[in-house]
Structure 1
Amino acid sequence: MLALRSGLTRALSPRTLVPEVCSSFATGPRQYDGTFYEFRTYCLKPSKMNEFLENLKKNIHLRTVHSELVGFWTVEFGGGMNKVFHIWKYDNFAHSEVRKALAKEKEWQEKFLISNLAFIDKQEFEITYLVPWCKLEKPPKEGVYELVTFQMKPGGPALWGDAFKRAVNAHVDLGYSKLVGVFHTEYGALNRVHVLWWNEGADSRAAGRHQSHEDPRVVAAVRESVNYLVSQQNMLLIPTSYSPLK
């Protein structure tokens, strides 16, 4: 009996019940590049949209000396009227301290911030990284942009990353749209991915979308990714005259 109890004790010991966990991988491809991108959306008062944009056009140089503007767009369809969307690039989080410098920039405060702050009803912003398998591309000429936002199931890239990559690349490889960048959120709603596309115009985008929906290769890739999808939203964006991405 003593021998039986001794055997049971060893069988039920914590060392036996709790398996040793050892993993050589993270929740997805590691983000080694410290560069990140700030996504900003401003909801403006309807009567002040043009005034806001003109004022910014005159004074945008006061802002871009502090950090790089990737693109600045007005929202044409999909996200509500009187919205602007812009992306700023930072080398690291220390670089993002430019807000402190702007707070001391008297000319920026007087010529833009003070006069335009009352025009903004709401501000939204997220901190994002480019996914490790994508780099920021510049379109060959002027056009329109589409920002598609995917809210994925909790679990991160380890759960849905490969399927999502295959769905995006199916559109890219078959030439249905030009990919600008794929971003995942670091601060903001997690498990969110933004895909920025470029097209020559809204009609060419619509034609490509219809063709892709009839392509079995795209359908198969998207069907796999949809298993991990919670919601999806898109916006058609028109670049401003001072947007680096035209």
Structure 2
Amino acid sequence: MLALRSGLTRALSPRTLAPQVCSSFATGPRQYDGTFYEFHTYYLKPSKMNEFLENFKKNIHLQTAHSELIGFWTVEFGGRMNKVFHIWKYDNFAHRTEVGKALAIDKEWREQLLTPSLDLTDKQESEITYLVPWCKLEKPPKEGVYELVTFQMKPGGPALWGDAFKRAVNAHVNLGYSKLIGVFHTEYGALNRVHVLWWNESADSRAAGRHQSHEDPRVVAAVRESVNYLVSQQNMLLIPTSYSPLK
């Protein structure tokens, strides 16, 4: 979505005798299903948030006519202020290229959505991610708030840390401390990075569940194993916009 103008127009096989390390996190549907999710983060100019959101609300249909919007949120806590985050779905890279070409010749989209948005934006970031094979994209039971937790893991990839990470996530899911929406592994962007998107009824219910999970020995044991491979972690509380499919 709304990549800069230049962005719109634009596995290694192991050696035969090399030992291979396998992990369920690194094999499976992701390797055969071309569907990917593009994460966009916009850092807006101070005092321009409302203008930016109003323009998107008015003209978002110009983009969704070409691409599937998964979710669109403002960042309430966690990092810089005046920040929005959105996720777009593509069938494969050829699909994204087709969308880029269509948008490049769409005068209405350029004039009403792209140009005004760029004028209000200080910085943009984009990542290409896949859902991990053991996770499917879920929908919440009702409207609420979201938390995007970004884990920067040690070099070595999912073959090294994937199973431990899976156990840590599932410990929270299986014990009902939060509703999992999706787990995404970055393909383009910072490598060895995993994004976990959670849903909670409210910020207070999220805080209560977090406190309870920290006292649960089953969660503590799973997390303790996973953090051996952790470099850094960032949490953002996300508030869905009125036009976000994920509410």
The TM-score normalised by the length of structure 2 is 0.89
Cα distance in 2, alignment partners of residues 24 and 149 from structure 1: 25
- How has the CA–CA distance of structure 1 residues 24 and 189 changed in structure 2, closer, same or farther, with 3 Å as cutoff? closer
State the SS of the aligned residue for 2:185: strand
Q: Residue type of the partner of 1:76?
A: E
Cα distance in 1, alignment partners of residues 228 and 92 from structure 2: 34
Structural mapping, 1:136-151, within 5 Å? 136-151=137-152
Cα shift readout 1:118-173 (whole Å, capped 9, x = no counterpart): 10000001000000000000000000000000000111111000000000000000
Cα distance in 1, alignment partners of residues 126 and 19 from structure 2: 37
Contact kept? 2:39, 2:129, Cα under 8 Å: yes
- Which residue in the other structure is 1:29 paired with? 27
Contact kept? 2:70, 2:245, Cα under 8 Å: yes
Q: Residue type of the partner of 1:85?
A: F
Cα distance in 2, alignment partners of residues 62 and 20 from structure 1: 52
Q: Residue type of the partner of 1:28?
A: A
- Which residue in the other structure is 1:73 paired with? 73
Contact kept? 2:22, 2:159, Cα under 8 Å: no
- Which residue in the other structure is 1:62 paired with? 62
> How many residue pairs are counted as aligned between the two chains?
228
Cα distance in 1, alignment partners of residues 100 and 79 from structure 2: 27
What is the CA distance between 1:116 and its match in structure 2?
Answer: 2.5
- Which residue in the other structure is 1:101 paired with? 102
Cα distance in 1, alignment partners of residues 32 and 80 from structure 2: 36
Unpaired runs of at least 5, structure 2: 1-15
- Tell me which moved more, 150-159 or 110-119: 110-119
- How has the CA–CA distance of structure 1 residues 34 and 20 changed in structure 2, closer, same or farther, with 3 Å as cutoff? closer
Structural mapping, 1:1-246, within 5 Å? 20-21=17-18, 23=20, 25=22, 28-30=26-28, 31-97=31-97, 98-246=99-247
- Which residue in the other structure is 2:10 paired with? none
- How has the CA–CA distance of structure 1 residues 24 and 231 changed in structure 2, closer, same or farther, with 3 Å as cutoff? closer
- How has the CA–CA distance of structure 1 residues 156 and 24 changed in structure 2, closer, same or farther, with 3 Å as cutoff? closer
Between the aligned residues of both structures, percent identity stands at 84
Q: Residue type of the partner of 2:144?
A: G
What is the CA distance between 1:21 and its match in structure 2?
Answer: 3.6
Cα distance in 2, alignment partners of residues 21 and 116 from structure 1: 49
Cα distance in 2, alignment partners of residues 172 and 24 from structure 1: 27
Two-structure CA RMSD over aligned residues (Å):
1.5
Larger Rg: 1
Cα shift readout 1:170-224 (whole Å, capped 9, x = no counterpart): 0000000000000000000000000000000000000000000000000000000
- Which residue in the other structure is 1:15 paired with? none
Cα shift readout 1:74-131 (whole Å, capped 9, x = no counterpart): 0000021100000000000001111221111111111122223110000001000000
Q: Residue type of the partner of 1:47?
A: S
Give the 4+ runs in structure 1 shifted more than 2 A. 19-28
State the SS of the aligned residue for 2:142: coil
